[in-house]
Amino acid sequence: MSRVTIYSAANCAFCTKAKTMLDKWNIAYTEVAIDHDNEAMREFSRVTRGARTVPQILIDGNLIGGFTELTELHMDGDLDDLMQSA
pLDDT of the residue at 85: 76
pLDDT of the residue at 13: 98
pLDDT of the residue at 1: 57
| Alpha-carbon separation of residue 65 from 14, 44, 61, 85 (angstroms) | 12, 12, 12, 19
May I ask the CATH architecture of the domain 4-84? 3-Layer(aba) Sandwich (3.40)
Spatial CB neighbours of 1, under 8 Å, sequence gap ≥ 6: 30
Sorted by where each begins, the domain ranges of the chain are: 4-84
pLDDT of the residue at 83: 86
pLDDT of the residue at 17: 98
Each residue's pLDDT, cut to its tens digit, for the chain (86 residues) gives 579 999 999 999 999 999 999 999 999 999 999 999 999 999 999 999 999 999 999 999 999 999 999 999 999 999 988 888 75
pLDDT of the residue at 2: 76
- Measured between alpha carbons, how far is 42 from 13 in angstroms, rounded to an integer? 22
- Measured between alpha carbons, how far is 86 from 8 in angstroms, rounded to an integer? 25
CA angle 4, 7, 8 (to 5 degrees): 130
